[in-house]
Amino acid sequence: MSNCIFCSIIKGDIPSNKVYEDDDILAFHDIQPAADVHVLVIPKKHIASLNELDSSDEKLIAKLTLHIPKIAKTLGLDAGYKTLINTGKGGGQQVFHLHYHIIGGKIHALESLKHIG
């Protein structure tokens, strides 16, 4: 999608600090980290939010979800972490390209967590 910031990151038109990438998935550090570790995990397919998922996305979403603990492990989050998906304006979603937040370590910016909680 041309006016989607995360699609631009996938295309490489906007730089990102990548932590994992394959044919279907990209993970990169949040530009405004709200905690010691704050990574976003997205499908390369543009899906606006959980509300726009359909049954044809079943495999992709399963793959995305199954990669969360693998990515968390590479980030050193052995003690655990939080995951979060904001859905819709009322849910605090700002970027309308489906993404998991992986949040680990100390939360140091409660202000910036307001938009994701």
Of 19-27, 50-58, 67-75, 85-93, which segment contacts ligand AMP by CB under 6 A? 85-93
Is residue 92 near ligand AMP by the rule CB under 6 A?
yes
Cβ-contact 92, 113 below 8 angstroms: no
Q: How far is the CB of 8 from Zn ion (least distance, A)?
A: 8
The neighbouring-strand residues paired with 108 are none
Residue ranges binding ligand AMP (CB under 6 A): 5, 14, 16, 30-32, 40, 86, 92-95, 115-116
